[in-house]
Amino acid sequence: MKSWGEEVWEKKSVAHGDVGVILGTGFSKRQLDKNTQNILQILDSEVLSRLEPNSAVLDIGVGPAARIAIEVARRGHKVTGCDISASTIKSASLAANQHGVADKLSFEHCDVVELNLGRTFDCIYCVETFFHIPGHLQLVVFKNFVEHLKPGGRLVVQFAVQDKVTVGHLAYALFYHSVYEVASPILKMMGRESFYTNVTRISQDEIRDIAMRVGLSVLVANRAGFFVFEKP
């Protein structure tokens, strides 16, 4: 039996294009490219520039375009991209071939909740993905990150950080959910399906609590939602 996550991401991967899966429907290729540049800038400055050439790097939720993994492979590292959706892994492998990095980038079809690759990595990163993991599974996922990190290895996770509820947050939630409720049936009539992929918001204190429980130190906190952790 497929988990909720596998079912929803597999269907989304088949029904929506790269941009739809990565950022959501309604976003443009231009916004995706800008988002890619922002993420790479953070990864480069916080971790990638410190790695030895040929380091082992794990991309969690690699996505259909493998857009970050391809760039990390181009920087000379050995990247493994993992994703819960089999169709996504197929598109990602195709993209790796098209960009000439297939020798540096391999893939694993797996759920990060049950991650068990039997090897460890110098760096693990998880972008535009961790906040889609339901709250009750997030601690398990962090335990899996720690098991797959070498001592001294670094972990970069992008969160949807929310430290308090403001009127702005409430207005956004109301807008987002109303648009979803109204747009879903209209899209369905037009023959397009929409999928509800939750965004789990988390406070900085909760993130520090998870890190403490799994024995990670926090090196960088909340740089545009990104945290960098290190395994002692």
Ligand X SMILES: C[S@@+](CC[C@H](N)C(=O)[O-])C[C@H]1O[C@@H](n2cnc3c(N)ncnc32)[C@H](O)[C@@H]1O
The binding site for ligand X (CB under 6 A) comprises: 5, 9, 21-22, 61-63, 65, 67-68, 82-85, 88, 111-113, 127-129, 132-133
Q: Which is nearer to ligand X, 109 or 150 (CB)?
A: 109
Least separation, in Å, of the C-beta of 129 and ligand X? 4
Distance CA(173)–CA(61), nearest Å, equals: 25
Q: Which is nearer to ligand X, 87 or 171 (CB)?
A: 87
Least separation, in Å, of the C-beta of 38 and ligand X? 11
Least separation, in Å, of the C-beta of 68 and ligand X? 6
Q: What is the DSSP letter of 202?
A: E
Radius of gyration of the chain (CA): 17
What tokens appear for 150 in the block?
């070498």
Residue carrying the six token digits 């269907």: 11
Least separation, in Å, of the C-beta of 131 and ligand X? 9
Torsion of CA 154, 158, 164, 169, to 10 degrees: 180
Q: Which residue is nearest to ligand X (CB)?
A: 63
| Maximal C-alpha separation, the chain | 54
Distance CA(173)–CA(31), nearest Å, equals: 21
Q: Which helix (H) or strand (E) holds 158?
A: strand 149-158
Least separation, in Å, of the C-beta of 176 and ligand X? 16
Q: Which is nearer to ligand X, 61 or 153 (CB)?
A: 61
For 43, 78, 220, the CA distances from 46, given in Å and listed in that order, are 5, 18, 8
Residue carrying the six token digits 């409430």: 170
Question: 165: Cβ–Cβ under 8 A, 6 or more apart, which residues?
Answer: none
Least separation, in Å, of the C-beta of 190 and ligand X? 23
Q: Which is nearer to ligand X, 130 or 166 (CB)?
A: 130
Q: Which is nearer to ligand X, 111 or 122 (CB)?
A: 111
Q: Which is nearer to ligand X, 112 or 214 (CB)?
A: 112
